[in-house]
Homo-oligomer: A and B are copies of this chain.
């Protein structure tokens, strides 16, 4: 999964029927230090995330699991809202 911030939203009238009623958000992937990294994506939201929230997203077929038994046509979904994160910078070590 990867970290991201919710930065926008998309509306579409004409779409695959399996996407009806799904909220589609624009997210910006970020590093644990919250710096933007990589391209913005359109994702489905399975947890009720709001604008500006720090979330984590799941890619691939698994991103449709939260919507089962409906097989939603998605390749990336928000699956959690981050409360807290701790990161330790890896020390430079010699090869083990």
Contact A85 B9 (CB under 8 A): yes
Taking a contact as CB atoms under 8 Å apart, the answer to whether B86 and A8 are in contact is: yes
Q: Is the CB of B16 within 8 A of A88?
A: no
Cβ-defined contact, A1 with B58, below 8 A: no
A87 to B89, CA, bound (A): 25
A1 x B39 contact (CB < 8 A): no
Q: Across the interface, do A79 and B34 meet the contact criterion of CB distance under 8 Å?
A: no
- Beyond the given pairs A34-B94, A60-B61, 15 more chain A to chain B contacts, judged by CB atoms under 8 angstroms and listed by A's residue number, are A1-B24, A3-B42, A8-B86, A11-B85, A14-B47, A15-B81, A16-B58, A16-B66, A16-B80, A31-B39, A34-B90, A34-B96, A51-B88, A61-B62, A62-B73
Which A-B residue pairs are the 9 nearest by beta carbons? A15-B80, A8-B87, A12-B80, A1-B42, A16-B79, A14-B81, A65-B73, A16-B66, A11-B84
